[in-house]
Amino acid sequence: MPIVNEAVFKLNENSKMRYYVSKEQVQNALNNNVVILDTRTTDEFSGKRQKKGVSKGDRIPASIYIDWAEAINYNGDKRMKSLQELEIIYNKLKIKKNDPIILYCHSGVRSAHTTFVLTQFRV
* Region of residue 122 (phi > 0: left; psi between -120 and 50: alpha; otherwise: beta): left
pTM: predicted TM-score of the whole model, two decimal places? 0.79
Is the per-residue pLDDT at 123 higher than 60?
no
Domain range list for the chain? 22-50+57-120
Decide if domain 22-50+57-120 falls under CATH 3.40.250.10: yes
Q: How far, in Å, CA of 66 to CA of 92, rounded? A: 10
* Region of residue 62 (phi > 0: left; psi between -120 and 50: alpha; otherwise: beta): left
Nearby residues of 45 by Cβ (< 8 Å), 6 or more positions away: 38, 59, 65
pLDDT tens, position by position, 32-47 = 989 999 999 988 888 7
Is 68 within 8 Å of 114 (Cβ atoms)?
A: yes
pLDDT tens, position by position, 48-85 = 887 777 766 778 888 999 999 999 998 889 899 999 99
3-state secondary structure of 38: strand
Q: How does residue 103 score in pLDDT terms, banded at 50, 70 and 90?
A: very high
